[in-house]
Amino acid sequence: MPRKRLTQVFPFLLPLRKKQKVACFYLAMRFDGRTYAQKKVDYTLPYQIVATSSLMVNENSGQDIQFQYNKVHNLKLAAKTLDRILIKPGEVFSFWLLVKEADRFQEYQEALVLQDDKLTTVKGGGLCQISTVLYWLFLQSPLTVIERHGHKAESFPIPPSEIPDGVEATIHEGWQDLKVKNETDTTYQIQIWFDDSYLYGSLLANHESPYRYEIYEQDRSFFRENGILYRKNKIYRKTVQKKTGTVVDTILLLEPVCALKYQPQGITIQEGEHCFG
């Protein structure tokens, strides 16, 4: 059995520990020598590199639907600080550096998060949906991902999406961030908007890209180990030259393994040990 953290033994210390961790988190960024993207403009760059959408309300959570509506509220607050941000050459995008004060517009509401493998609610919950959308956009560009964290567990089914399972970016202020660096000579821009049902995101640029990026999944399987059901797969990225259709490069991006706290329908499960391989 893993050793419990001090805050698990003494829960009353958690707020103090969080304040300390968050303060150190931002202090480290202040002195790390990087230039962070923070400029927001009132116009959009002319070339769209990639765009996507994500259904906001998940009716399969098994929890009070109000928490889903609260999540939508939180997503719209975070988007106020992200929409139309420029990522200039040499700059680093940090999700939390931009989102940390989003609640100055309105107060965050209680929404679902997974903490210590348990589903709970916190103010500002659900923001990983917007960080996942951004990660998906970044993967289809020349931007370099320098920090990203995947979910270790899934509490309920996720609505169908073009984003493959395992391609997500979970965030936790003070602990886990999403960061990308612009190592090109092109300026990029984030655009985020909403309708009644969907969150939309696009990545724009001041120059047209000669390449497109195709993300795809292979080798999906499910297995049970020590009584826990897991999903594993492989995520690849193919770089294609637009003019000729020539495949320039294919790389293995991720090999995610995720514990499932629900039973998917119509799957074949491998039983036995050593399935992590």
pLDDT tens digits, residue range 130-155?
999 999 999 999 999 999 999 999 99
H-only helix segments in the chain: 6-9, 14-30, 66-82, 95-99, 128-139
Residue with tokens 């509490």: 155
* pLDDT, tens only, 46-72: 999 999 999 999 998 989 999 999 999
pTM of the complete model: 0.93
Confidence of residue 2 (pLDDT cuts 50, 70, 90): low
Mean pLDDT taken over the chain: 92
Confidence of residue 124 (pLDDT cuts 50, 70, 90): very high
Is 271 a member of any domain? no
Is 252 a member of any domain? no
Is 225 a member of any domain? no
Is 51 a member of any domain? yes
Residues 6+ apart with CB under 8 A from 222: 229, 230, 231, 232, 260, 264, 267, 268, 269, 270
Residue with tokens 């002195």: 31
Confidence of residue 271 (pLDDT cuts 50, 70, 90): confident
When mean pLDDT is compared across 70-79, 98-107, 209-218, the lowest value belongs to 98-107
Query: Which residue type occupies 166?
Result: G
Is 6 a member of any domain? no
Residue with tokens 């190592």: 183
Continuous segment of H or E residues that includes residue 111 = strand 110-115
When mean pLDDT is compared across 9-23, 109-123, 213-227, the lowest value belongs to 9-23
Is 179 a member of any domain? yes
Is 69 a member of any domain? yes
Is 80 a member of any domain? yes
Rounded to an integer, the average pLDDT of 184-203 is 98
- Give the count of domains, the chain: 1
Query: Can you give the residue range of the structural domain that contains 85?
Result: 34-208
274 pLDDT exceeds 50?
A: no
